[in-house]
Amino acid sequence: MMMQLPETPNQKNSLFNAMNRFIGAVNNMDQTIMVPSLLRDVPLDEERDMAPLKSDMDEGDMYSYYQLLKSIRSDIEWGVRCATADERRKESMKITRTHSSASTSSASSSSSSSSEEEDEEDEDLKKQFQFHLTGLQGVLSKLTQQANCLTKRYKKEIGIGGWGQ
């Protein structure tokens, strides 16, 4: 379990803090929802706060989304499952074969052009990283909000904490 740390204003948009907020929201959800089976067959679209959940899951109930949020938390805390690692390894082998055949055909290029290409690749990697980091932070923010909505909805369904929240 990851401990929540206080965040400074400069760290508000850090990936670590986005993950920390998500894990905290799912932990709160998990501690609040004492009887997850009560979420079975409760549709996602009964409350406007849950509308974003419905767009992400075509069919399902609150229980399946509860399980999904817990699974994502587990993936963040413990890493992605082995099946995904096997898929990545296979994809990596394909990429390696493609790059090795391309590099043998371009071995005769000049060293000055390869230096320029490396600079372009470094810039491209930086842009790719920033793009994916921004996307991941956005997804984590939405998932955090949805875990909080699920917790609130559960409380409403069982009749606790619904006043003024």
Distances (CA, A) of 50 to 79, 94, 149: 28, 41, 7
Please tell me the pTM assigned to this model.
Answer: 0.64
Dump pLDDT digits (tens) for 29-78: 999 999 999 888 888 765 555 555 554 555 678 999 999 999 999 999 99
- pLDDT tens per residue across span 129-148: 999 999 999 999 999 999 99
**Amino acid at site 33:** I
The per-residue pLDDT for 120 is 79
CA–CA separation, 112 vs 105, rounded Å? 17
The answer to whether 119 and 1 have CB atoms below 8 angstroms apart is no
Q: CA 24, CA 2: separation in Å to the nearest integer?
A: 8
Gap between the terminal Cα atoms of the chain: 27
